[in-house]
Amino acid sequence: MMRIEIVKRPQHSALFSALSPFIALFLTLIAGAILFSILGKNPISALYSYFVEPLTEVWSIHELLVKAAPLILIAVGLSVCFLSNNWNIGAEGQFIAGGIAGSILPVVFPDFQGWYVLPIMLLLGMAGGMAYATIPAFLKVRFNTNEILTSLMLVYVAQLFLDWLVRGPWRNPQGYNFPETVQFSDSAILPAIWPDSGRAHWGFALAIIAAVVVWFMLSRTLNGFEIKVLGRSSRAGRFAGFSAGRLTFFAFLVSGALAGLAGIAEVSGAVGQLRTSISPGYGFTAIIVAFLGRLNPLGIIAAGLVLALSYLGGEAAQISLGISEKSARIFQGIILFFVLASDSLIYYRIRIVSRLSDTALKGA
């Protein structure tokens, strides 16, 4: 008889805690190489075109920043949620809600123009994400509902609502029946940072600012302290006089606002109109970004760039290797798997227990 036990380690290694994201990335590359060999591709050249080639051209680096911006914005908000033990899985829905709310001005009032249009759009986008995130927060605080389920289910509601809007009331009358809204006017477009060399828009700058602000809040202020205390021990948090319900609202509002901002920045900066689908799963991939960045907003900047690369690599692999771009999803899944596995093995060890000792005794 044999069984496998998972035993908590008395002490965990600080060195390996710091190395864990790198170990996870390394293991992901190995797993990727194995995957490519099984598909009959040369693993070295496949990994090269997946992870290195996109970094060799300037326009491609711009694309990297375009993809990284929403990932970082969303993941920074999620770090506040996850650190405080609020499992917001619905950032994808809050992203869409932000994109819709921010598009009200350019779609419904296209004649309304001026420098103030863009700031209002961004604020509306944040408000839309916040409003959508309030629903699971309220259900959790008031009815003790599991926020994982409610926030996830609301994603599909948002996706279908967007689909209906774009096919129905908001469809461009001059759009040859394509399910798209009108193209945004220039004053409703989030401009590129370096328009001469590529598409990267100011959403990336907003992401960096958000990361630094949230990092400061988490590491230096009483508010950040409250988040960490309640995330680790709700009872000690109550003893400290902190309110878990208030914090749940706070965390969902912050992450909803940032996801909403990411949504409208993507729509206004990268797409230029609303379509039936405005996200290749940014809201879900951002969960991986948050954990790969160890829930630290500065780490999340780096992790966001890594995961953005996986999107670009997927596109590149489709062109040069003939592999479906969905392979990016596989890589993202593998990264999350190895990140969580490395973290678990830092705190726990696996022990194989045999019942040998008992039988030895009976034999004696």
Partner 1 sequence: MTGTITKDGSEIPLLEAEKLTKIFGTLKACDGIDLKIGTGEIHALLGENGAGKSTLVKMLFGALQPTSGDIAWKGERFTVTSPAMGRSLGIGMVFQHFSLFDALTAAENIALSLDEKSPLDTIATRAREIGQTYGLPVDPDALVGDLSVGERQRIEIIRCLLQNPDLIILDEPTSVLTPQEADLLFVTLERLRSEGKSILYISHRLEEVRRLCDRATVLRHGKVVGQCDPRTQTAASLARMMVGNDIHVIERLPAEWTDRIPLIEVNGLSQRPRGPFSVALHDIYLSITGGEILGIAGVAGNGQGELFEAISGEVLQERPQVVRIRGTDAGRIGISARRKLGAAFVPEERLGHGAVPDMSLTNNLLLSRHSTDRKMFLTGGVLKLVSESSLASAAKRIVVQMDVRKSAENPDASALSGGNLQKFLIGRELDRNPSVIVVNQPTWGVDAGAAALIRQALVDLARSGSAVIVISQDLDELFEISDRIAAMVHGRLSESVPIEAMTMERVGLMMGGADATAGAA
Q: Is the Cα torsion angle 86, 237, 301, 217 positive or negative in sign?
A: positive
- x/- site string to partner 1, residues 301 to 340, per CB under 8 A? ----------------------------------------
68 touches 304 (CB < 8 A):
yes
Radius of gyration over every alpha carbon of the chain, rounded to an integer in angstroms: 23
The residue among 238 and 349 lying less far from partner 1, judged by its C-beta, is 238
85 touches 235 (CB < 8 A):
no
**Which uninterrupted H or E stretch holds 128?**
helix 117-143
Question: Where does this chain touch partner 1 (CB under 8 A) — which range of 92-100, 200-208, 224-232, 304-312?
Answer: 224-232
Question: Where does this chain touch partner 1 (CB under 8 A) — which range of 221-229, 267-275, 287-295, 297-305?
Answer: 221-229
Q: Which of 223, 277, 324, 344 binds partner 1 (CB under 8 A)?
A: 223
Look at residue 348 and give its three-state secondary structure.
strand
Q: What crossing angle do the helices spanning 58-83 and 282-292 adopt, rounded to 10°?
A: 70
Cα–Cα dist 84/253, whole Å: 13
Question: Where does this chain touch partner 1 (CB under 8 A) — which range of 42-50, 78-86, 222-230, 250-258?
Answer: 222-230
- x/- site string to partner 1, residues 165 to 204, per CB under 8 A? ----------------------------------------
The answer to whether 209 contacts partner 1 (rule: CB under 8 A) is no
Question: Where does this chain touch partner 1 (CB under 8 A) — which range of 127-135, 148-156, 205-213, 236-244?
Answer: 236-244
116 touches 123 (CB < 8 A):
no
Binding residues for partner 1, rule: CB under 8 A, are 220-223, 225, 228-229, 232-233, 235-236, 238-241, 357-358, 361-362
